[in-house]
Structure 1
Amino acid sequence: MANAVENLEKLERRLTITLPISDITTEVEKRLKERARTAKAPGFRPGKVPMKMVAQQYGAYYHNEVLNEKVSAAFSKAVEENGLKIAGAPRFDEKTGDDVAKDEVAFYATFEVYPEVKIGDLGTVELEKAVATVTDAEVDKTIEILRKRQAHFHAKEGDNVTAEDGDRVTIDFTGRIDGVEFEGGKAEGFPFVLGEKQMLPEFEAAIRGMKVGETKVFPLTFPENYHGKDVAGKAAEFTVKVNKIEQAHLPEVNEEFAKALGVQDGNVAKLREDIETNLKREVKNRLTAINKNRVMDALIKVSEFDVPQSLVKHEIGELTELTRRDLAIRNPAQKDIALPPELFTAQAERRVRLGLLLGELMKDNVLAVSDDKLKERATEIASSYEHPKMVMDYYLNEPSRRKELESMLMEENAVDYVFSKAKVVEKEMSFDELMAQQM
């Protein structure tokens, strides 16, 4: 039997499960007899092993098996009778004390329930919706970037030649901290394009204006957030010698250039069209991500409720595992690095909270995704691949990928729904500002 549910802290609940010892004993004896029919032991024929020996060998195993089954069954029955929605797995602890009858065993089942999720008044929410457009200027800028990627460099000619932005300079350099060379602070014949932010601004500023054969000594303080932690925030002194200065020669935007970028007939207009299509796709994806985050933040802010910590812990485990896999790929030496749960707590709680909110919205069917919408999005994704039909089949006919696509569209429907209810102000973002956003 199970007692009434006790409310502990927040979403935590507890109930007491009691079982007659006779029920457990009877079932254990039944299973031992079944086992005895085929049991083997030295000196005995199969099925003729004395019951006492069978009980010694298998009794503890069957006792634990029966006990677990009966406790789980009693818990499930109590959950159903009390109309509970369990979040995560329950914890069972044996109950002892004078209030436990001698002919019974008792257990505490401690667990969490799902919260009552109520979404607040979305009409009171003020939301800023990011919008952006792609113009000919963005297409031109992209073409210039592509031209630079296909640039050819030749020695810079003329009298009194100095290093300028856009030039490729080849240098020898040595860095010292407190007079001592440090790891990664020395190179010979090192080429980089000046002005492309491949080096720290202070380093590039020192090179700018130098001549071939010239040597310069200059100070440089590494940023506090510099990726090289051994030198971050420290003051260094660099000695640099310029070996070579080369000028970039960019290809003309013509048929040959278009073919080099995958336009088979060399049509420059088609190249511009393709670039514009790709830029619009990227802009759309970035706007979707930005606006989605804003909507989700608003949903969380307007809907206060406790989240089950068991679900948060599970999510922390998932995030930890994903991070370990990523580290193993990027740097195998870090695959076993300690990852404290606190690193993921806030992110895990946010994900659980959003999952519950989206689940609440699903009850009103506002997030439903039609087959036509799925096909439309799969077509859109596939359009950028060489074999679109294969990609469409991948998303529409492979169950896990179809579910992934459906989840993505449901989130987008949630964004649209909240925008339709909230007080929305559109704010134009420049292309460069949008591209600078971390995704």
Structure 2
Amino acid sequence: MKATWEKIEKNLGVLEVEVEAERVAAALDKAFNKVVKKANVPGFRKGKVPRPIFESRFGVESLYQDAIDILLPEAYGEAVEETDIFPVDRPEVDIEQFAKGQPFIFKAKVTVKPEVVLGQYKGLEVPAQKAEITEDELNAELKRLQERHAELVVVDDEPAANGDIAVIDFDGSVDGVQFEGGQAERHSLELGSNSFIPGFEEQVVGMSTGDFKDVEVTFPEAYHAENLAGKAAVFKVKVHEIKRKQLPELDDEFAKDVSEFDTLEEYKADLKAQLESRKQEELKGARETAVVDAAAANAEVEIPDAMIASEVANMVRDFDNRLRQQGMNMDMFLSFSGQTREDLELQMKGDAEKRVRNNLVLEVIAKAENIEVSEEEVNEELASMAESFKRTPEEIRSILAANGSLSSLNDEISLRKTIDFLVENSVEVEAPATQEEAAPEEASAE
């Protein structure tokens, strides 16, 4: 087989392939063995028609399309490997010649992975940050924990306020006609959560237990139910009960209830250490993102639309999987959000393009710096995955191999090592002082 590759644009080229006549004959044999099983020829049972009689009756040309379907994929794959190109989209194939006793000649217009021209990627500057937890941050976390462990107490003698839970009946109508989903009894609504139609919760604030009220609202123009979008509605509301969060005291008893510590001071010290560790991880992630974005911004690359479309499809599929884990699906999400699938894809397009660009740049940096993945590193990753999924490393390897994902594991490890390389070779710089920080110095200088 002969294969040649000619680039016609930056990411587009033509692959010209010539396959030997012997392989054409073998493909025609396979096509005949497939077609003859269904051929109806008087005097012969299906599958028993001799080849000469078949070709005399139907013509050898009747086998051509099946033979092409058999031979083209394997010849194309071999040609891609021989010319060392990396297609990123389906090829546009033009059959130049296919006939019995003749070589098979075809041309394929192929979009390939783009070339990346690296800019600066070592010595990139990133702002210096410290994983220190301020007193305000510690107090905010304690407040959040108080909220989590708060008790709900019934309030009989005060009107509802933001943050309260109002237990209500409501009956909604548009132009005096009830609509589906507009009625409920003893529904618990957290006021201020903005979980109802805009304007609804604000009108329940101030109501007391036993009160009745007509709440007038207007559905948003972009509401997911088209028959209600932009319509004025009236909800007849009755308040059955008002519940208010009662926060526990921040004392030693609180520490004993929520932790293994006996005193609040011990618990606060441990909590501060946890927050610092979490912040350290956040800063590490932020630094990694900063250096990758900077290296990608310094590089030159033209990304084919096909690669962006493929990444968008991956992101939509991942999003759908996360929805299913939460008991939803894509159709439900689109209905609730008032979006179409095209709207969602358009929102993801920018992130998809950034991901593709970053990954392309990281891949080229890995090659430039000879960053390789050892078998030991693969085994360590398999062991980590095995521990997470309660399987053996051998089982995880077999599953990945069966799915064709073992090479992807190598790619992921290489990606992480390349990011680590960029971080190790970056430079922390102090961020310029803000006006507020500079003001005391200026005052003292005066």
User: TM above 0.5, one fold?
Assistant: yes
- 1:353 pairs with 2:357: yes
Q: Tell me which of 298, 304, 315 is aligned to 1:302.
A: 298
Query: In the TM superposition, what are the counterparts of 1:401-412 in structure 2 within 5 Å?
Result: 406=413, 409-410=416-417, 412=419
1:339 to 1:2, Cα distance in 2 relative to 1, 3 A: farther
- 1-side partners of 2:81 and 2:376: how far apart? 38
- 1-side partners of 2:276 and 2:355: how far apart? 29
Match of 2:8 in 1: 8
- 1:180 pairs with 2:182: no
1:12 positional shift: 1.3
1:228 to 1:51, Cα distance in 2 relative to 1, 3 A: closer
Give the structure-2-normalised TM-score.
0.65
Which moves more between the two structures, 332-341 or 6-15? 332-341
- 2-side partners of 1:135 and 1:301: how far apart? 34
- 1:18 pairs with 2:18: yes
- 2-side partners of 1:142 and 1:278: how far apart? 11
Q: For residue 140 of structure 1, what is the amino acid of its counterpart?
A: N
Q: For residue 363 of structure 2, what is the amino acid of its counterpart?
A: G
Verify the 8 A CA contact 2:24 2:104 in the aligned structure 1: no
1:308 to 1:210, Cα distance in 2 relative to 1, 3 A: closer
Which moves more between the two structures, 193-202 or 355-364? 193-202
1:330 positional shift: 1.1
Match of 1:318 in 2: 314
**Which protein, 1 or 2, shows the higher relative CO under an 8 Å CA cutoff with sep ≥ 6?**
1
Match of 1:151 in 2: 150
- 2-side partners of 1:314 and 1:251: how far apart? 51
1:305 positional shift: 1.9
Match of 2:38 in 1: none
- 2-side partners of 1:370 and 1:80: how far apart? 24
User: CA RMSD, aligned part only?
Assistant: 5.5
Verify the 8 A CA contact 1:128 1:426 in the aligned structure 2: no
* SS class of match (2:161): coil
- 2-side partners of 1:298 and 1:231: how far apart? 47
1:356 positional shift: 0.9
Instruction: Number of aligned residue pairs: give it.
Output: 408
- The gaps in structure 1 that reach 5 residues or longer are 36-42, 383-388, 429-439
Which moves more between the two structures, 196-205 or 8-17? 196-205
Match of 1:330 in 2: 328
Give the structure-1-normalised TM-score.
0.66
- 2-side partners of 1:307 and 1:137: how far apart? 45
- 2-side partners of 1:361 and 1:330: how far apart? 40
Q: For residue 268 of structure 2, what is the amino acid of its counterpart?
A: R
- 1-side partners of 2:297 and 2:266: how far apart? 46
* SS class of match (2:369): coil
Match of 2:444 in 1: none
1:151 positional shift: 2.6
Verify the 8 A CA contact 2:4 2:17 in the aligned structure 1: no
1:19 to 1:242, Cα distance in 2 relative to 1, 3 A: closer
Match of 1:112 in 2: 111
- The gaps in structure 2 that reach 5 residues or longer are 35-42, 401-405, 435-446
- 1:363 pairs with 2:351: no
* SS class of match (1:330): coil
* SS class of match (1:252): coil
Match of 1:163 in 2: 160
- 1:95 pairs with 2:93: no
% identical aligned pairs: 26
1:333 positional shift: 5.8
Deviations 1:27-65 (A, max 9, x none): 569989x99xxxxxxx99xxx9977579999x9999889
1:265 positional shift: 5.3
Which moves more between the two structures, 188-197 or 75-84? 75-84
Deviations 1:174-195 (A, max 9, x none): 3333443333333332233444
Match of 2:40 in 1: none
1:153 to 1:67, Cα distance in 2 relative to 1, 3 A: closer
Deviations 1:344-380 (A, max 9, x none): 55444333222211101112338778999999999xx
